[in-house]
Amino acid sequence: MPVTVDANLGGSAEAISASELAEIGLRYEVDGAIATITLDRPDKRNAQTFATWSALARIGEHIPDQVRIVVVKGEGPSFSAGIDLRMFTPEGVPGQGSFVSAASLEETTFERRIADAQRGFLWLRRPDIVSIAAVHGHAIGAGFQLALACDLRVVADDVKFCMKEPALGLVPDLTGTKPLVELVGLPRAIELCLTARVVGAEEAVRLGLAELAVPAGELAQAVQDLAGALLATDRGAATATKRLLQGALGRSLEEQAIAERREQIVRIRTLFASG
């Protein structure tokens, strides 16, 4: 049975409680080897703020050791309508400022602010976990990038991906550009970002943006089935293989062969060394 937990399992001074998460519009539950993060501000289509990203980072820092799968999903009609549009107003999001106030920040402070936001996304690529975005309805801007931050995407047939940042005068800066290019290739990534057109479920699968598309009512079960299949693999082998695959694009064939040898020696020693 899933339990809602405070994200303070490490006893950190930066603990974040379930009630704090609720205020930010997030839920976090751990059920054995599966952690589920739910964007939970459906009345605002799960719009994201700096508090969302900071909470995601803190959840990532305190994921319990037994967790191997992290599912990211959205409550209500949309996965996420992207950044909270109040960020574009002079008033901003209460307690979090706005782009209007951020514009005058000193360079290093500004860069650190963006890096802090990106931390909420980067941990989802850790080799020792597999992250799955369960995406339905709109996944716009930061919503699309959150889905891209995950290793795998299972989508409902009503999904609508849209990279809207350039249409708003911005760039996608929540770690989405690299996975997008890796998944769909440079020309398609340019086309999708610079036109901000909507990509539906069938095209998402065809482009490699999603592993699987299912009827909306079957999304949760499809994710559960995928998680079950992933969990059937030995954790050490899964972690080492993911690490190897993640490094493949950045290495030459020779370098990758070396990396395979090194990982395999560790595996074989772990499995077969006696005494």
Under the rule (CB under 6 A), what is the footprint of ligand ACO? 44-45, 47, 77-78, 81-85, 138, 140-142, 164-165, 168, 170
CB of 187 to ligand ACO, least distance (A): 22
Output the CA torsion sign for 200, 202, 207, 210: positive
Distance CA 259, CA 253 (A): 10
* Residue 109 to residues 38, 103, 252, Cα–Cα distance (Å): 30, 11, 37
CA angle (24, 27, 30) in 5-degree steps: 145
Q: Which is nearer to ligand ACO, 82 or 92 (CB)?
A: 82
Q: Which is nearer to ligand ACO, 153 or 160 (CB)?
A: 160
Distance CA 170, CA 99 (A): 11
Q: Which is nearer to ligand ACO, 142 or 227 (CB)?
A: 142
CB of 118 to ligand ACO, least distance (A): 13
Q: Which is nearer to ligand ACO, 18 or 168 (CB)?
A: 168
Distance CA 167, CA 25 (A): 26
Neighbours of 6 (CB within 10 A): 14
Q: Under a CB-based contact definition with an 8 Å cutoff, are residues 48 and 146 in contact? A: yes
Which residue in the shown chain puts its C-beta closest to ligand ACO? Answer: 141
Distance CA 156, CA 26 (A): 21
CB of 117 to ligand ACO, least distance (A): 10
Q: Which is nearer to ligand ACO, 98 or 256 (CB)?
A: 98
CB of 226 to ligand ACO, least distance (A): 26
In single-letter form, the type of residue at position 143 comes to: G
Radius of gyration of the chain (CA): 19
CB of 77 to ligand ACO, least distance (A): 6
CB of 163 to ligand ACO, least distance (A): 8
Distance CA 174, CA 143 (A): 10
Which residue matches tokens 């610079």? 194
Q: Which is nearer to ligand ACO, 190 or 244 (CB)?
A: 190
Q: Which two tokens stand for residue 129?
A: 């976990």
Q: Which is nearer to ligand ACO, 32 or 76 (CB)?
A: 76
Output the CA torsion sign for 19, 21, 24, 26: negative
CB of 97 to ligand ACO, least distance (A): 15
